[in-house]
Structure formats: structure tokens, C-alpha cells
Structure 1
């Protein structure tokens, strides 16, 4: 009787068992994929992620940046080369108009002034003597003791002496002006902001000694691009804040440059603050808006909810419990207030502050706390 090998018997049995396992795995995989395909795709959100669309009216604003400057300011320079013998003002000190700030010692100018005064006195004395001689010759002419030619000669001498006296008077004014240039006075009432001279220092003509401003008269200096010139109307109201201070302030547009800058293509304008400003704000940056008289009406949503705002703006909204990507038209942007005026949405839309991917569009929206978005009427 022939014997059957055990190895030959086990091979078909093992193959059959492996095949059964593979079929079972395939069935399970197919069942899992089918269940996933039929599972609904949803997006989970919370009510705080959404905001309702509101319709309203806002004033049209034109944003700008500028600085605070003093209307009255002056740079005081030396008119002569001399040594400073006395300095009477320092940085931060209040001074009045015509107050003496510096005395310069210039002996040459003082000597020229004394010489000019002496020359004028001599010329005036000669002119007076010539006048008296002319008058005497006139009486003698009337009595027939001198000729007319001699009298006319006395008239010429008097006129010559008179012109010499006038010339010496002009020289005296020049010398007096040079001597007065050694006394530096304040051209306005204000506060010293810079001092560049010390006692005993030799200064040269044209050197800046002091800078002074009047802190009681300040203004806003700013510029706008040429294409926004329609916003620059005298009397327009302005809202602004000063660097380092978030308190909103008000001003009125007072002056506009008649021409645009040839390089930057911007128009310079000035505004008068309504509230009093601390002098420490001189030179500080300001940010603000020019409030135009016309108003803008439209749908108001948070500015940060708009995606691709500079190219093809759109927002994600929940419409009929579905997530939708809706293109919008941006009419006005308010960065400081995080507001935007747009068009293109429905009043029942709820705008999402959360960013999504394109594959999330049309997915159902569910809320983690089972709350629903309220309508404008409910709010």
C-alpha cells in the first residue's frame, strides 16, 4: 500500500486558509470605504466665530499721517563775528519778544560807531557854519556890499556841507546797526528749544545761536497723494491721535498748498487743533482722518473677515447652514476701527472670522454647543 506524504497534504490546506483570510480583509476594507463615502462632511464651529451682517451709514474718511509743528518758530543767528560775553537764556526757558539773549563783544564795531558819531557832529557843525555865512552874504548882497557871484558861492558851499552831513548820518546808521548786531534779542515770545553758544565762545557771522518756538500756536502738518485732493477742503473736520497718546483729538483744516510736490506728487496741508496740545508734542507723529461731508451706505462687517482684500476679496459665510465662499465688493476700509463697508451679501448671512480652504465650501455647519446663529432681529 502506497504512503501519502504529510507535506503534500498540508500545502493545499494552507493555501485555502490564506485565501479565506485575504477575502475577509478585502470585504472589511470595502465596507469601511463605503461607509466613509456615505458619511456627511461637516464643519464644526462656535457662535463666537460668526458675526451678522449689518447695514448702516458711515462718514467718508480719508486717512493721513503728519507731524505737530509750531506756527511761530525761529532760528536765531549771529550777524557778526565776535566773542559772547553774556548768555541770558537756556533750553526750556520762556522768553519774551525783544528780550536780550546774548551780548557779543565787538570792539571794532564800537569804535566805528564812536567815529561815525564824531564825523556826523563835525559835518553838522560845518553845515551850520556854511548856513550862517550864506545868510550873512545875503544881507550884504541886499546892501550892495558883495556881488551876487559871491553870494551864490556861499549857497554852493552850504549845500555841499549839508550833503556831507547827510552822508555822515548814513554812515552812523550803518555803524549803529553793526554795533546793535552784537546784542542778540528774541524775535518772538516763546520757549528756547536749542542753545548753541556759551559765554566766552567766539561765534562767526551766520552761526545759529538759538532756536525758539511759540508753544501756544501749534498746527498739524501733513500730506496727501495727488489723487486724494478732493478731500482737501478748507474747514473740513479732522480726527487724529498723537504718537504715544491714544486719546482722540479734533482739528480743522485751515491751509492747503496750491501746488503738489514735484518729486513725491503729494499735496501739503495744515490743520489747527481744537484742543490744547502740550508743547512736548512738537515734532511728534500724528495719525488721523479727514471727515468728508458725504456719507457711505452699505453692509458693515469686520475688516479682518475679508480674505484677499487687495485682489479678489471674498468672505466665508454660513448661509442656510452651509459654508459658502462669497465674493464681495469693498467700498470703504477702516483699519483703525476694523470695519469695512461692502456689498454682495444677504442680510441673513453670518460672516465667519475663521479662514477655511476651498474644499470646505458647501459643507454643513454644526455647532459644538448646539447653539445657532441668531438673526439681526433677535439681536
Structure 2
């Protein structure tokens, strides 16, 4: 009986097994993230100069009067607010001068009251024809002289009051004390620099240009800036300022580079390198890790508008330590894969990310 039932059970079991296999969920294919970069101006096709990040405005602060420093209220590197006191001079001399002027103003005020009363009395007597015209004119002149003297001393009092306030040096705006050149007990002259303030706001890069190449630089020339703290990331800039004369010691010309981007993560004193494109040079560079080859022909993986990969043959120059110049095949707005190129294949869908792990929208216009 078992022999007769077994052949009937086997087809039923197979049918159940095939039905279960048909109900399996489809396998989900994940989209792999890839590190992407844009080609940068090749160092072999440009000239690079080391520089230092500076503030766009760095005024040198000084007392408007001379004197002995009695208090220093801030240190180098300290952040200050606008109108914050930075240092003070001995105010004794300016206070005594202010007191002397105030006393002269009081005396002049009393004299003015006297000659004003005399003028009024002589005017009354003149109307009654009891004094001559010359006597009245003399009283009038004394009154005008007294009034002029009072106005002069009043102005001198205002000057002395301002001089007393100048004994306290205050910050003109928010910023950081970049340099300090004064100590308590030091006697300074009016206009002598005691602090250098790095004002908040824009940042620039200060570089030195050799005199043999200075003639080929001009204001507004585009450059590329690389911060030491962010290697491989370039920020666009321009030459904002060129010194008209060479430094007497180094025989180089100072130049200031302004960033063209809105806000650049550059801090005061950071090291930077400025790349200035050479005349007639248009080569780009990519990281060595982005380059691959097939049968001796070099190529890179470029991200298309729909986030898929395409293989792009390129013509390269001499290999550098970290980058290789690309003479033909790429444009500055291309996005290429910078790592893991040996496991990719044409048409593969990927998710492009930059070095800060941010997703890149390749279709967006820069």
C-alpha cells in the first residue's frame, strides 16, 4: 500500500517546492558610493608660492598722544570686541591740563559777563546821550574780544577733554590681537604702533613674488589656493593687491590673494600654497589613484549626468608624487572617480561623494 502512495506524493511535493521558489523576494542591488574629485590645474603647468593666511583688514593700533603705559588689558591672540579698552596711559598730565583749561574757561566766562554788562550800560547811556560814541565803541570792542576769548578757550577745553579720553586705547572693531608691541612701564610716542588687530571678516593669503617674475603678474589675475590643513582641495582666488616696491631684505614683492568663494575655512596664520597658471598652459591634474590603464592606454572613470560610469581615455604627462597631469581628455567641470577604480565597470550606477563625505549632484551647474 505504501508503494502505491509514494509515487503520488512525490509530484505533490515537487509542485509545492516550485511554488515556494517562485515566491522568493527579488535581490536588491545596492548602489556603491565612490569618492570623486574634479581635475585641478597641474602644478607642472603653474607656478606655486607659499603663503600665510591673513585678515583682509589688519590695522595697526596706536595711542593718539604720548605717555607712559600704566595698564595693558589684552594679550596677543586674545579676541576683542569693538570699543573694548586695550591699554591705558598715565592720565595725570592730561587731566591737569584739562583742569587748567577749565579754570581759564571759567575766568573767561566771568570776564564775558562783565563786559556784556558794561556794553549794555554804555548802550543805555548812549541812547540818553550821556556818553560819547567812542566810549560805547570801546565797550563794544571789549565785549567782542571777551566773547572771542571765551569761544577760543571753550574749543581748547574740548581738545583737552578729547586728549584725556585718548589715554585709553580702544579696539575700533571686532577681531583678534595679532601682535603686541607694548609693555607696562613703556613710554610710547603718539602714533607708535602698540597692537596689530586682525579684524573679523574676510581672509586673504599673503605671498612673496620674486622680482624676476614680477612683471608678468597683474591685479585681478585668477589663482588657485590650497590650504595646508586641507590638502588636495583648491579654492579659487584672485590677486587683489601688489606691492609697488620690493622688500629691501628679501628683494621680493608682497602680494595679497583674495578668495572668490563666499566663506573659506581659513584661520589666521595657517599655511597655504598659491598656484598661478603659467602663460599658455592649460594642463589639468588628477590623483594617481584615479588613473588606470588597459593595454597600455590610460583612462579614468567619469561620472555622467545620471550617476553612471563611463570610461574616458586620457593623455597624461610625467607622473608626479601624488598627481599626474592630464593633457587631453578632461575638462575642469568633470567629476572623476578618485579611488577604487580597479573594481568598476562601464554603465555602473554609483553614488558620488566628495572628501567631506557629501553627496555630489553631478547634474547641477557649478
- Say whether the fold is shared (TM-score over 0.5): yes
Aligned residues of 1:238 and 1:291 also touching (Cα < 8 A): yes
C-alpha separation between the residues in 2 aligned to 1:225 and 1:272? 19
Q: Does 1:242 align with 2:211?
A: no
Aligned residues of 2:223 and 2:239 also touching (Cα < 8 A): no
C-alpha separation between the residues in 2 aligned to 1:101 and 1:58? 45
2:272 alignment counterpart: 286
C-alpha separation between the residues in 1 aligned to 2:318 and 2:218? 20
Q: Deviations over 1:282-317 (max 9, x none)?
A: 2x442221247965479xxx9xxxxxxxxxxxxxxx
Bigger CA drift: 139-148 or 231-240?
A: 231-240
Displacement of 1:228: 4.2
1:147-296 → structure 2 map (5 Å cutoff): 147-195=132-180, 201-206=184-189, 209-225=194-210, 228=213, 232-257=217-242, 259-261=244-246, 266-273=252-259, 274=261, 275-279=263-267, 281-282=268-269, 284-291=270-277, 295-296=281-282
Gaps of 5+ in 2: 1-39, 289-295, 297-316, 328-366
Aligned residues of 2:105 and 2:154 also touching (Cα < 8 A): yes
TM-score after normalising by structure 2: 0.56
Distance 1:259 1:105, change over 3 A: closer
Aligned residues of 1:231 and 1:290 also touching (Cα < 8 A): no
Q: Does 1:126 align with 2:111?
A: yes
Displacement of 1:190: 0.7
Displacement of 1:94: 2.3
Distance 1:256 1:210, change over 3 A: closer
Number of aligned residues: 252
Displacement of 1:150: 0.3
C-alpha separation between the residues in 2 aligned to 1:333 and 1:67? 28
C-alpha separation between the residues in 1 aligned to 2:253 and 2:220? 17
Gaps of 5+ in 1: 1-56, 303-317, 319-330, 342-379
C-alpha separation between the residues in 2 aligned to 1:194 and 1:225? 27
Larger helix proportion of the pair: 1
CA RMSD, 1 decimal? 4.0
Aligned residues of 2:52 and 2:271 also touching (Cα < 8 A): yes
1:20 alignment counterpart: none
C-alpha separation between the residues in 1 aligned to 2:107 and 2:85? 33
C-alpha separation between the residues in 2 aligned to 1:297 and 1:73? 37
C-alpha separation between the residues in 1 aligned to 2:147 and 2:131? 24
Displacement of 1:194: 4.2
2:338 alignment counterpart: none
Name the SS of the counterpart of 1:277 in structure 2.
coil
C-alpha separation between the residues in 2 aligned to 1:226 and 1:253? 19
Name the SS of the counterpart of 1:72 in structure 2.
coil
Distance 1:252 1:332, change over 3 A: farther
2:66 alignment counterpart: 80
Q: Does 1:102 align with 2:87?
A: yes
C-alpha separation between the residues in 1 aligned to 2:238 and 2:50? 14
Distance 1:249 1:136, change over 3 A: farther
Q: Deviations over 1:10-60 (max 9, x none)?
A: xxxxxxxxxxxxxxxxxxxxxxxxxxxxxxxxxxxxxxxxxxxxxxx9775
C-alpha separation between the residues in 2 aligned to 1:104 and 1:268? 35
2:98 alignment counterpart: 113
C-alpha separation between the residues in 1 aligned to 2:319 and 2:222? 19
TM-score after normalising by structure 1: 0.54
C-alpha separation between the residues in 1 aligned to 2:283 and 2:118? 95
Distance 1:114 1:254, change over 3 A: same
Name the SS of the counterpart of 2:273 in structure 1.
strand
1:145 alignment counterpart: 130
